[in-house]
């Protein structure tokens, strides 16, 4: 069995280190403006040495209406947003995880809220369609993603840089069984657009819990501020280690968060406290 096969089957990482980055955004209602900003920040992250870069949920568009994303949806494998992600990954020679973008769904009036992963050659190597759809209502706020989004049904994982990486999106964070179903992974990514209300209450504690219980790194990338559609998102993109420590955080606004994946640290946590081996159910 090769070292790569061991990584894929056991979730144990090779003794490697690499830099990661999260591009926190405050996306607008204009796709071109959002891509222009993302382009500059991807370049900055790559220049800083990041080998893997994560964009937030809805990075290409935060529409004025929920139906705006339906108007810019793309067919799988073609379209300007997908072409942009492929080109950026290839130009900078990085693994690029494209937050989420709207891909065509079976109902004509809905989309899949999709994460796509591109390798350093610009090839799409993984896809995950958000499974859990957010619904939240108070006297002041109301959200119902199911009105315009068709849920996915399959897990998303891929192998890169000597470790296995699990894909999830925003509201998925509240469902620990999703991460258990992935099997042991070295890293979980969470592109998100958490509301300020729910983020302030639950974002950090949920992220740290997922890191602790799965004994893996968590790279979370949020939308982070006041959007021109009137929505306020929480931001606080984070890099969290397998012990649940927040190693870096970008509270609000636009910018790049950097971190370092250290497989030796991951393996040490798992050997000192072999909780994953102690699972019964």
Residue from 69, 110, 150, 170 carrying the catalytic annotation: 170
Residue 272 lies in a domain: no
pTM of the predicted model as reported, rounded to 2 decimal places: 0.94
φ/ψ of 51, rounded to 5, equals -95, -20
Q: What average pLDDT does this structure show over 28-57?
A: 98
What CATH number does the domain containing 84 carry? 3.60.110.10
Determine the pLDDT at residue 140: 86
Neighbours of 209 (CB within 10 A): 17
Q: Are 269 and 242 in contact (CB under 8 A)?
A: yes
Which tokens sit at 198? 């729910």
Number of domains observed in the structure of the chain: 1
Neighbours of 128 (CB within 10 A): 26
Residue 210 lies in a domain: yes
Q: For residue 2, is pLDDT > 50?
A: no
Which tokens sit at 123? 């090839």
Residue 10 lies in a domain: no
Q: What average pLDDT does this structure show over 216-226?
A: 98
Determine the pLDDT at residue 15: 54
Which tokens sit at 280? 């019964």
pLDDT tens per residue across span 48-66: 999 999 999 999 999 999 9
- Alpha-carbon distance of 220 to 267, in angstroms, equals 21
Residue 5 lies in a domain: no
Q: For residue 9, is pLDDT > 70?
A: no
Determine the pLDDT at residue 281: 86
- Alpha-carbon distance of 127 to 146, in angstroms, equals 20
Residue 78 lies in a domain: yes
Tokens 């990584």 belong to residue: 7
Residue from 12, 19, 69, 130 carrying the catalytic annotation: 130
Residue 113 lies in a domain: yes
* Residues spanned by the domain of 43: 17-264
Q: Active site includes 12?
A: no
Residue 97 lies in a domain: yes
- Alpha-carbon distance of 170 to 248, in angstroms, equals 19
Q: Active site includes 170?
A: yes
Q: What average pLDDT does this structure show over 222-250?
A: 97
Residue from 19, 57, 110, 150 carrying the catalytic annotation: 57
With pLDDT > 70 as the criterion, what percentage of the chain qualifies? Answer: 95
Residue 8 lies in a domain: no
With pLDDT > 90 as the criterion, what percentage of the chain qualifies? Answer: 92
Q: Active site includes 232?
A: no
Categorize the per-residue pLDDT at 1 as very low, low, confident or very high, splitting at 50, 70 and 90. Answer: very low
Among 166, 221, 218, 226, which Cα is nearest to 192's? 221
What mean pLDDT, rounded, does the chain reach? 94
For 233-281, the DSSP string reads B---EEEE-TTS-EEEEE-SSSEEEEEEEEHHHHHHHHHHS-GGGG---
Determine the pLDDT at residue 6: 42
């Amino acid at each position: 069995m090769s070292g790569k096969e061991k990584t894929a089957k056991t979730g144990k990482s090779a003794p490697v280190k690499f830099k990661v980055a999260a591009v926190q955004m405050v996306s607008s209602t204009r796709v071109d403006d959002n891509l222009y900003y993302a382009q500059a920040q991807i370049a900055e992250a790559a220049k800083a040495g990041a080998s893997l870069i994560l964009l937030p949920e809805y990075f290409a568009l935060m529409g004025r209406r929920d139906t705006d994303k339906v108007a810019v949806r793309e067919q799988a494998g073609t379209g300007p947003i997908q072409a942009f992600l492929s080109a950026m990954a290839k130009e900078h020679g990085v693994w690029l995880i494209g937050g989420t973008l709207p891909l065509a769904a079976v109902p004509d009036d809905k989309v899949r809220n999709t994460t796509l992963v591109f390798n350093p050659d610009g090839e799409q190597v993984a896809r995950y369609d958000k499974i859990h759809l957010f619904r939240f209502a108070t006297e002041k706020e109301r959200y119902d993603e199911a009105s315009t989004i068709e849920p996915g049904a399959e897990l998303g994982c891929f192998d890169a840089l000597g470790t296995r990486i699990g894909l999830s999106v925003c509201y998925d964070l509240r469902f620990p069984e999703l991460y258990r179903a992935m099997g042991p992974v070295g890293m979980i990514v969470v592109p998100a657009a958490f509301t300020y209300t729910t983020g302030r209450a639950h974002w950090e504690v949920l992220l740290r819990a997922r890191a602790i219980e799965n004994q893996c790194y968590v790279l979370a990338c949020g939308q982070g501020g006041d959007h021109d559609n009137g929505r306020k998102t929480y931001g606080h993109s984070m890099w969290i280690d397998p012990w649940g420590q927040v190693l870096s955080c970008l509270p609000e606004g636009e910018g790049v968060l950097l971190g370092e994946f250290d497989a030796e640290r991951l393996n040490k946590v798992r050997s000192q406290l072999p909780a994953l081996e102690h699972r019964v159910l």
